Amino acid sequence: MKTRTMEAAAEKVPYCAQTADAAIAHLERVLTVEGACAIFGQRYWLERVQHLLAAPDLLPPHRVRLMHLLERLHALSVAVQT
């Protein structure tokens, strides 16, 4: 029973401080490509960033990088609307 509960929790927040660097670096690369939101949509990328932010043991530098990504997504949203 405990195994299923632990697996379900791991599915909800699969990232930890050790795996966050690679995931954040990937998002930073992808979101610098023009038209990235056109491929999967802004909501997809926003959910990916928010999913990472939900990791309980992120370090402050991880959170700063993720906040920059949120700002970039917001700026892309504003640019598309104008």
Residues 24, 38: Cα–Cα separation, whole Å: 20
Helix (H, G, I), strand (E, B) or coil at 21: helix
Contact residues for 75 (Cβ-Cβ < 8 A; gap 6+): none
Domain ranges of the chain: 2-81
Contacts 24+ apart (CB under 8 A), 71-75: 72/31, 73/31, 73/37, 73/42, 73/45, 73/46, 73/49
Model pTM?
0.75
Cα 14 to chain centroid, rounded: 11
pLDDT tens per residue across all 82 residues of the chain: 444 444 444 456 677 778 899 999 999 998 888 777 777 888 999 999 999 999 888 999 999 999 999 999 988 777 666 5
